[in-house]
Chain A
Amino acid sequence: MNPATDRLIDTRGYIFLAVLSAAAVLVPILTLVIPDESAFAMPPYLVALFGKYLCFALLAVALDLVWGYCGILSLGHGAFFALGGYAMGMYLMRQIGTRGVYAHPVLPDFMVFLNWKELPVAWWGFQSFPYAMAMVLLIPGLLAFIFGWLAFRSRVTGVYLSIITQAMTYALMLAFFRNDMGFGGNNGLTDFKDLLGFNVQATETRVALFVASCIALGGGYLVARAVVTSKFGKVVIAIRDAESRTRFLGYRVETYKLAVFVLSAMMAGLAGALYVPQVGIINPGEFSPANSIEAVIWVAVGGRGTLVGAALGAFMVNWGKTFFTGALPEYWLFALGGLFVLVTLFMPKGVIGLIDQYKVRRASKKPTAEG
């Protein structure tokens, strides 16, 4: 593999972090400082759009951590993303207060509409931002812990694991569609007003959220990188390549898998929490199995097991989606489907793999170049 894999930040990582930092600095300037008339001014909707991509990229990095490094193909990571999103959405709902349609001081509109009298226990404490943020990490983490503990302990692997992760997110989707669940049913949570006292619609808040997403993605990347370059990470990679052999060497495979899975789920939850205020809605559709599979293709397109590639793939595929659904809505599913087939057939290492191949080929042409 790449000789630099043992360093916390390799060359590729430096480039990635530099681009992220540049975005975190430039976007606020382009949006807030440069006057609107200027050709360089960035419209607020683009800020929200790129902010959304950053959240997807963080989800992709989380997925790459389990799939690329531990060999667990989770088709249910969208569930963790959505749960984080719901935790954030619940905080935002509680901030609406009396500004809702029914102006109830405590209950969100949909509960008043359903004629509920009291706040369900699940909603307690969500008026507090620190509590909500803790839940953003804890709820997906807890679900991943329970699910992973059950699955890894009984050695459910490969496609079986993929299918039951898919069943998990599907079951959650059905559950959240129910009004009785108390999370807004079909419509989900929306009509948000404030985040920490700032209007979520305001350009300044959007820019702040964008910067926060940059920091979260950079931080998530560094955490994932720290994990995979550590001794712990070596065992994780060993599990990916030869699970039984690692077990026979005396490592507790299920513990390692569980730790990586839970960490990844928490990152996905954080991504969801940043995603919700930027798009302004969270609904059960986020749990749909198709969303989770789409996240997998981001990782595959960028190159699994590279982290940077996952983020890159998320950007590319989602940019393509924005472009296609705007210009040729009929063809988006053809393009996405084709992408699934072509990437798995011809680009098993994704875009990053192509770049590496190109480098190797150039190096072999000029033998003196890299020594």
Chain B
Amino acid sequence: MTRYAQGRAPARVQAISLQSQARNRFIETFSLLLAAAFVLMAALLIAPKARAQSPTDVLTYLTTDRFPDTERALNEIGTSGLATAPQIVEALAANRLLFDAAARKLYFADESGALFDAATGAPAAGISPDDLKRVRLNNAVRRSLNAARGALTLMSPDPARRRAAAEAVFKSRDASALPLVESALEKESTPAIRKKLEEARAAIIAADASAPEARRLESLETLKERGDQDALGTLATIAAASEGRVKTSAEAGVAAIQSRLAMWRNVQNVWYGLSLGSVLLLAAIGLAITFGVMGVINMAHGEMVMLGAYTTFVVQEWARTNHPELMNYSLFIAIPLAFLVTGAVGIFIERVVIRFLYGRPLETLLATFGISLILQQAVRTIFGANNREVSAPAFMSGSFDFGALSIGYGRMWIIVFAMAVFAALLFVLRATSFGLRMRAVTQNRRMASSMGIDTNRIDALAFGLGSGIAGMAGVALSQIDNVSPNLGQSYIIDSFMVVVFGGVGNLWGTLLGALTLGVANKFLEPVAGAVLGKILLLVFIILFIQKRPRGLFALKGRAVEA
């Protein structure tokens, strides 16, 4: 019931990157410093480690069948310059790295089982895998293995993989990866990946107790600028493990990032709230029309939303089988079609049932509830009770970063869509003759009738319009919610709350009501929990109705008591 809040792909605040001029200047000076310090670094970090003399040494280490040697080989394979290093590491990860203990030769097998010489990468003919032993792994080796994999992908030609590798190094803070990061930085030309690499380097240096204090402090600044959850974790660990100025600086960094993240959390709450609010708006706006114009409580409104969602499903199924090239545009076919289908169903219901019940709102409520049961069962009989899969077109999947916020295209387009529908509806009501007639009937039915407006026709069309909008809402909801016969039920009470809160017969009230409730819901959720937050809102609305029985924006004048 509270499912609409979470999209199909729960968006998560991801890594953020702040680009600023100050930052770029910093990078330049840093690079100079770096060049100067490189020799020193080499002395400090690289020299104490017994470096492999040549690529073949790495291979030899892997044939001793001892875990410490394997680990050592992995630590050095990245800088060894060995051409086959990626294959070796991957083969080890897949348990396909074999060695000949007597000849001290290393082989790797590919997925089909064919053997290759690890030193040259050439196919190894005439050697049976049965004569070879497998290079074993334990947890310590696996850790080095992962670091080595990360390090090797730093050089990968694929930017996405380089980026992921830089991120992996950042998280591991593995000091042995530093030389690799340095060399990758020299070659890297994509600014965003450079930044990732610099952050990775900063994380390694800042966490390294043996690095000079000045450099550590600088690195801490870099981490602070990064300012996301991962940087926070790194800084907190460093603050706990070090002393003196490094500790104070790291702690200051932690505090800065925390306040920054708190700010972004609020921004995120507003954004999610707007997203939820626009969903509520889509579901409620049609209801506002039928209720506002005709005073009809349409309990089957949720089922109109559901029919719209199923229309999307049918359109996609049709496109999948007949015109796969249209799959990406299926929503553009579904939106008008859903409007027509549910609009027609709405007009049919109005003509067959509701028009006999005007002036008896409570009976209308019951009759439309009956219709909602019939529609639910009909859909269940035709499509089955299970959820139906509606896929998202390419332009609605994925996300982009805005500050510390990852904004999903799906949610963004739904907000845009909701606003577009709202604007279109406003246009219809304000600028068309149908809208004029409709408003006249809303304000004074009998007078409008005396002026020659066919109120019956307006009623039917208004009901069709409200239902059609519900259908379009269904198209949008099919993107973020499960398409099932119960889809409508989860929205009907919320939609009523929005309409009642915003005030009947006022579109702006509905807009404000929907957005307020959406944002309030998202701010209450972290404090009170999803369910309790919803209960609190319901209680709030129940109390609110006591104060303003006709909503935020009440209609004034004679229409009120009609």
Interface positions of A (Cβ within 8 A of B): 73, 147, 150-151, 153-156, 158-160, 162-164, 166-168, 170-171, 174-175, 177-178, 289, 293, 296-297, 300, 330-331, 333-334, 336-341, 343-345, 348
Contact = CB atoms under 8 A, between A and B. Distances in A.
A266 B550 CA distance: 29
Contacts of B420: none
Contact of B549 (A154, A296, A333): A154
B519 to A, nearest CB: 19
Contacts of A164: 500, 541-542, 545
A170 B545 contact: no
A155 B546 CA distance: 8
Of the candidates B367, B378, B532, B543, the one having the most CB atoms from chain A within 10 angstroms of its own CB is B367
B18 interface: no
Given A337-B371, A340-B367, A340-B370, A174 B531 contact: yes
A163 B370 contact: no
Given A167-B497, A345-B367, 8 more contacts: A151-B546, A159-B295, A160-B549, A175-B535, A178-B531, A333-B377, A333-B380, A341-B371
27 contacts: A73-B365, A147-B542, A150-B543, A150-B546, A154-B547, A156-B546, A158-B362, A159-B365, A160-B550, A162-B365, A164-B541, A166-B496, A167-B541, A174-B1, A174-B531, A175-B531, A296-B366, A334-B374, A334-B377, A336-B373, A341-B367, A341-B370, A344-B357, A344-B363, A344-B366, A344-B367, A345-B353
Contact of B361 (A153, A159, A170): A159
B545 to A, nearest CB: 6
Interface in B504-534: 531-532, 534
Contacts, number: 121
Contacts of A340: 366-367, 369-371, 373
Given A154-B546, A338-B370, A171 B538 contact: yes
B549 A156 contact: yes
B381 interface: yes
Contacts of B357: 344-345
Contact of B370 (A150, A162, A339): A339
Contacts of A293: 366, 369
Nearest to A331: B377
A159 B381 CA distance: 31
Given A163-B500, A164-B545, A336 B370 contact: yes
Contacts of A147: 542
B356 interface: yes
B297 interface: yes
Contacts of A338: 370, 374
Of the candidates A170, A289, A297, A330, the one having the most CB atoms from chain B within 10 angstroms of its own CB is A170
A24 B357 CA distance: 41
A319 to B, nearest CB: 18
B362 A162 contact: yes
B370 A167 contact: no
Contacts of A339: 370
A333 B500 contact: no
Name the 4 nearest CB pairs between A and B, nearest first. A340-B370, A337-B373, A337-B374, A333-B377
Nearest to B374: A337
Interface in B71-114: none
Contacts of B534: 171, 174
A158 B538 contact: no
A338 B376 CA distance: 12
Contacts of B416: none
Contacts of A174: 1, 531, 534-535, 538
Contacts of A160: 500, 545, 549-550
A318 to B, nearest CB: 16
Of the candidates B1, B373, B376, B534, the one having the most CB atoms from chain A within 10 angstroms of its own CB is B373
Of the candidates A73, A175, A300, A341, the one having the most CB atoms from chain B within 10 angstroms of its own CB is A341
A163 B550 CA distance: 12
Contacts of A334: 373-374, 377-378
Contacts of B381: 330
Contacts of A345: 353, 356-357, 367
Contacts of A296: 366
Contacts of B500: 160, 163-164
Of the candidates A153, A330, A334, the one having the most CB atoms from chain B within 10 angstroms of its own CB is A334
Of the candidates A333, A336, A338, A339, the one having the most CB atoms from chain B within 10 angstroms of its own CB is A333
Contact of A300 (B297, B356, B366, B550): B366
B493 interface: yes
